[in-house]
Structure 1
Amino acid sequence: MTDASRPLLALWRHHRRHRPRVIAAVLATTANTAADVAPELLLGIAVDVVVRGADSFASTLLGIESRFGQLVAVAVLNVIVWVIESATDYLAAVLWRGLSQSVEHELRVETYANVQQLDVSWHEGSAPGRVLSVISEDVNQLERFLDVGARVILHTAWTVIFVGAVFAASSWQLMLLAFIPVPVIVWGSIRFQKVLEPRYKAVREAAGEVSATVSANLGGLATIKAFTAERREAERVRDVSEGYRQANRLAIRSSAAFVPLIRMAILAGFTSTLLLGGWFVLEGRIEIGLYTVLVFMTQRLLWPLTDLGQTLDLYQRAMASTRRISTLMNQRGEQQPGHTVLPAPVRGRIELRGVRFGYADGPDILRGLDLVVPAGETHAVVGATGAGKSSVLRLVLRFSDPREGQVLLDGTDVRDLAWESLRGAIGYVSQDVFLFHGTIRDNIAYGRPDATDAEVREAARLAEASRFVEETADGYDTVVGERGLTLSGGQRQRIALARAILRDPAVLVLDEATSAVDNETEAAIQRSLAHVTADRTALVVAHRLSTVRDADRIWVLAEGRVVESGTHDELVGAGGLYAGLWAVQTGAAALSAVD
């Protein structure tokens, strides 16, 4: 959807495949409205039969002299009309509800798919709760309008047309009186629509704020409890919920004022028809049966308009939601995939040439960085916090693009590569391991859903995860909680490593893979890494220098530049920055100070 200023038009253009269903639903609603209006006409005809007998309209039209015979004919027609009304009501309900469900499903899937394609940096700057609010609540709001509101609006419009035709054929004076309230109602609708639009936009924004706050708090519940901040966070939720309530209160006050206005207009129209129509009967200008029809038709014309307040309320909420959906669907990431595919087999040579990089409008993190990882070698990137270590991995994975310079994989700029070719050649183990709610097997096989059980078990063995997995109650069928919180940090790391190994990538990228594990787990991960990196390229960011001492080359960063590189022994012997970091981590610096 590209026209957020006209959301209904945008929906019509975007969902072209549903136009036949929309047309069928409109036709069913039209037939249903016609059948819904017909009983008032039949009631007038029945009254005319009772009052006028052989001179009645039914006698003239049907050629039946018996009054009872005329009533039987009217009753049969009434049954037919009711059957048609019931059948078309069912058909219209099925069509509109099916349409609303289909649009809801497609918009949710399309919006999520677009959000999933956006840059990692976009997601880092957006609150997940707000995105969730659009995909869930806003899409549901639109579904409710298509299910109920659209049908009510169409039914009301056709009622005005059909009833207007009856009045026009009966008495133009009564038609004018009965329709006097309609312009008032139309004006009120337009007026209230303009008033409600910004207020419901504020309601949807406030709903997003509530969702974002609750989502963030649930994600950080352990931290909240650790700092005994439950009361403070409850107050925070109370504040944003109060903001949502106040925004709704303003919108509700405006929408609620609409119904009394319509009721007064209805009273004026109904009273006018009652008095003038009655006078016409007394003067002999119209028959009593027609007078009965017109009185009931006035109510049929005006009373459904009382629902316009609620329908307008539903419409404004839906349009505010549609604009938010459209805005999210139209988001485009700064990074677009290339079209080049790496020739097989991928060798895995990584090169950074003159790379300058920073986040958003912030200062440079990397400044003219040059770095080469030959195919099949294990290289480590180390340095103090803020030196730019993880930024190097972001560029290799193309979570971000450099401001200047190139990042190359097998001699091809990663910006020219299709996502499947680039990331399909890389196995990634992050510092903050994310496991999905599901079984251990599902999480290990995430990168290769078609992997066999034997392949999953072998990957777990190589990652030294098989032992603790098999000790669990259900083994590989054990269900881990959301984000894998039922497992220890070391267990999550080893499952993440198994997940990367199972993919059999040409390049293995590890970001602080042993930062949250104990010495025993670190040793286990080290053993598995030594095995799985033997015939593939590995790029490792590490804080613990002991985990990279066997790397083919270690790159030492400081202030976004390479200040040293070499093997562990070479760097320790050089007595530079790396040697200082090594001394601090091994305790040599503390012992020297004591001496």
Structure 2
Amino acid sequence: MSALHKSSFKSFARLFKYSANHKKDFYLGSLYSFLNKLFDIAPEILIGIAIDVVVNQEKSFLAQWGVETPLHQLILLSVLTLAIWGFESLFEYLLLVKWRGLAQSLQHEFRVDAYTHLQKLDMAYFEDRSTGGLVSILNDDINQLERFLNEGMNSLIQVFTAVVLIGAVFFFIAPKIAIFAFLPIPIILAGAFYFQKQAAPLYLEVRDRAGLIGARLANNISGIATIRSFVAEAREAKRVSEDSHNYVESNSKAIKISSRFNPLIRMAVLMGFISTFVMGGMMTLNGELNVGSYGVLVFLTQRLLWPLTGLANTVDLFERAMASADRVLDLLSAKIQLETLKPSVMFNKDMSIDFKNLSFSYANGIPVLKNIDLQVPAGKTVAIVGPTGSGKSTITKLLLRFYQATQGKILLGGLDIETCDPRNLRGQIGVVSQDVFLFHGTIYENISYGAPGATREEVLAAAKKAYADEFIDKLPQGIDTIIGERGQKLSGGQRQRLSIARVILKNPPVLILDEATSAVDNETEAVIQKSLAEISKDRTTIIIAHRLSTVTHADKICVVVNGEIAEEGTHEALLQKGQTYAQLWNLQIRKPELAL
């Protein structure tokens, strides 16, 4: 695990580099933290001067500067104290506003940038990653960074400032005492670096465990109906408990490491304080140090060393934040292969689609498609059929540029789609698939997703063409009815009709129908087929289907077996050949329950 871990300081450098446009805010926040600490430790110096005034009166330190009477000296100290407290409060306000504002800004930018980048990543990126894990990065990890910027940055800066400023005062007043008072600091820093090295990989494991819990919960909540149907509630609760226990165990290991740091700091602080207390006292008794200076040193020792007891918590917060930063920045640095900006091209209904010598293999090297040569004439309908796993849907995924072909090319209107902007390409292709995805919201919002600028009348017209108005009009709020996450309040056929209405509103020159009616009953299928036939007219259409009865009207049918085109032709011509298509047809017509 540690071999995979990047140094936390390198992680911070990555974070700082990515936040380059906020350098001014970082510098201002650091300045405010420095000035706040400067005015925060000044009262201890004034207390020492006040003791000096009370003890030495006309011979005090202030008397040497022209303020002769003790009363005037005390009045001056009171005015200085008031000013110092005012400036300390001002800079505390400024640092809180600056650091918390920066935390909010970076949290927002990181989340938006990470999500925007995520949307551009190739589909292959998502194959081995869970939705819950990615959500954990976009939410939990970014929130962890926010917590560090809210509190941790200021704490680190002020501890460093205290060491420098108080060290300067110590060496100015009593260099001998300073040496002994500061002896614990190297021990504390060495301990901090040691525990940081020990804890860093553990905190990375903690963030990974948190991602696994998020993935489990997201998966189970979306699959709650399946869990209940298999009476698997107890089993899933046990799995969540195990994941949670693993998270707690990882966290416990990290906490044990960081907790060892605190006693070390406290003992080191005690050594420094005793050194100042005893040596300073002896020097004062021997007349080598005045009482006021001794008071300053004792108070400043407390102000220097005691805050270091909180360094363990700050280091803990820093480690957690840097583990989160690595996960977010690794996501942001994931390479984009296909989703690159290229020239936009407007296609029309007169353009054909040509698949030339097309081959494709997934990352595991197993071939899915082999030397596919297929033409879809402009304005015509071509069906692609074949057994499950034969590669039918992969052909359309390559057309949509979800994946990069291993060999060959796809031409749209004679233009290689690899030279086109993928978003522009997809914007001109409408897809109706078996797995309909609807968003939580109203029917109106889901249909208008196909054309965000469409008017209400256009949305209603699209719903009517998809024969969705038949059930929409019966709903309590009609087209403004909220349908729930993934459209769970609707039946499969109703969801499918909304999907078709969405594509009708989009009005693309190319249409892909991927098993569009395989999950509905015969009556619903008839309605859907009617609407599909309507929108397919004079439009270049590719149909992916198992159920051969839905493609008999196609201008051409291609049979794909084991990633290769076994035969092609019209429905009648393929039946006359008596080969694969005819066998599938006879099997489905004779025994529909065995349909592939």
Query: Where on the TM-score scale, by shorter chain, does this alignment land: which range?
Result: over 0.9
**1:399 counterpart SS class:** coil
Distance 1:228 1:255, change over 3 A: same
**1:573 counterpart SS class:** helix
Q: Select which of 20, 34, 40 maps to 1:36.
A: 40
Q: Select which of 523, 528, 534 maps to 1:525.
A: 528
How far is 1:64 from its partner? 3.7
Q: In the alignment, what sits opposite 1:422?
A: 425
How far is 1:62 from its partner? 4.7
Whether contact under 8 Å (1:139, 1:322) holds in the other structure is yes
Deviations along 1:360-402, whole A, 9 cap, x unmatched? 2242222211111101011111111122111111111121122
CA distance in 1, matches of 2:330, 2:208: 13
Q: In the alignment, what sits opposite 1:117?
A: 120
How far is 1:5 from its partner? 7.4
Structural mapping, 1:128-277, within 5 Å: 128-277=131-280
Tell me, yes or no, if structure 1 residue 58 matches structure 2 residue 67: no
- Count of residue pairs brought into register by the alignment: 589
Q: In the alignment, what sits opposite 2:318?
A: 315
Whether contact under 8 Å (1:42, 1:74) holds in the other structure is yes
CA distance in 2, matches of 1:35, 1:496: 65
Of 464-473 and 507-516, the range deviating more from structure 2: 464-473
Distance 1:3 1:373, change over 3 A: farther
Structure 1 segments of 4 or more deviating over 4 A? 2-5, 588-591
CA distance in 2, matches of 1:345, 1:249: 61
Which amino acid is 2:76 matched to?
A: A
TM-score in terms of structure 1 length: 0.96
Q: In the alignment, what sits opposite 2:378?
A: 375
Which amino acid is 2:17 matched to?
A: R
Distance 1:393 1:407, change over 3 A: same
Distance 1:337 1:29, change over 3 A: closer
Q: Select which of 51, 58, 73 maps to 2:76.
A: 73
Distance 1:477 1:588, change over 3 A: closer
How far is 1:32 from its partner? 0.5
Whether contact under 8 Å (1:164, 1:175) holds in the other structure is yes
Which runs of no fewer than 5 residues in structure 2 stay unpaired? Answer: 1-5
Q: Select which of 450, 456, 460 maps to 1:447.
A: 450
CA distance in 2, matches of 1:338, 1:177: 63
CA distance in 1, matches of 2:592, 2:519: 24
How far is 1:337 from its partner? 3.7
Which amino acid is 2:447 matched to?
A: I
Q: In the alignment, what sits opposite 1:91?
A: 94
Q: Select which of 434, 438, 448 maps to 1:435.
A: 438
Q: Select which of 465, 478, 481 maps to 2:468.
A: 465
CA distance in 2, matches of 1:7, 1:589: 60
CA distance in 2, matches of 1:552, 1:589: 24
**1:398 counterpart SS class:** coil
**1:369 counterpart SS class:** strand
How far is 1:346 from its partner? 5.3
Distance 1:520 1:269, change over 3 A: same
Which runs of no fewer than 5 residues in structure 1 stay unpaired? Answer: none
Tell me, yes or no, if structure 1 residue 285 matches structure 2 residue 288: yes
CA distance in 1, matches of 2:107, 2:351: 43
Which amino acid is 2:28 matched to?
A: A
**1:257 counterpart SS class:** helix
CA distance in 1, matches of 2:190, 2:586: 80
How far is 1:112 from its partner? 0.9
CA distance in 2, matches of 1:107, 1:505: 34
Of 352-361 and 305-314, the range deviating more from structure 2: 352-361
Which amino acid is 2:567 matched to?
A: E
Q: Select which of 13, 16, 20 maps to 2:20.
A: 16
Deviations along 1:433-468, whole A, 9 cap, x unmatched? 111111111111112111111111111111111121
How far is 1:13 from its partner? 1.9
CA distance in 1, matches of 2:382, 2:348: 21
How far is 1:315 from its partner? 0.6
Q: Select which of 565, 587, 590 maps to 1:584.
A: 587
**2:457 counterpart SS class:** helix
Whether contact under 8 Å (1:337, 1:415) holds in the other structure is no
Of 407-416 and 565-574, the range deviating more from structure 2: 565-574
Whether contact under 8 Å (1:32, 1:84) holds in the other structure is yes
Which amino acid is 1:457 matched to?
A: L
CA distance in 1, matches of 2:373, 2:347: 26
CA distance in 2, matches of 1:547, 1:408: 27
Whether contact under 8 Å (2:509, 2:539) holds in the other structure is yes
Whether contact under 8 Å (1:4, 1:10) holds in the other structure is no
Q: In the alignment, what sits opposite 2:301?
A: 298
Distance 1:446 1:589, change over 3 A: closer
**2:329 counterpart SS class:** helix
**1:579 counterpart SS class:** helix
Which amino acid is 1:28 matched to?
A: Y
- Taking only aligned residues, the RMSD between alpha carbons, in angstroms, comes to 1.8
Whether contact under 8 Å (2:8, 2:322) holds in the other structure is no
Whether contact under 8 Å (1:337, 1:416) holds in the other structure is no
Distance 1:390 1:344, change over 3 A: closer
Q: Select which of 464, 481, 484 maps to 1:481.
A: 484
CA distance in 2, matches of 1:211, 1:252: 21
**1:28 counterpart SS class:** helix
Q: In the alignment, what sits opposite 2:51?
A: 47
Distance 1:21 1:549, change over 3 A: same
How far is 1:569 from its partner? 2.4
Whether contact under 8 Å (1:4, 1:326) holds in the other structure is no
Identical positions, percent:
45
Distance 1:590 1:402, change over 3 A: closer
How far is 1:4 from its partner? 8.9
Deviations along 1:12-60, whole A, 9 cap, x unmatched? 2222211111111111111101100100011111111221222222333
Which amino acid is 1:378 matched to?
A: T
Of 558-567 and 90-99, the range deviating more from structure 2: 558-567
TM-score in terms of structure 2 length: 0.96
How far is 1:344 from its partner? 4.8
Tell me, yes or no, if structure 1 residue 392 matches structure 2 residue 427: no
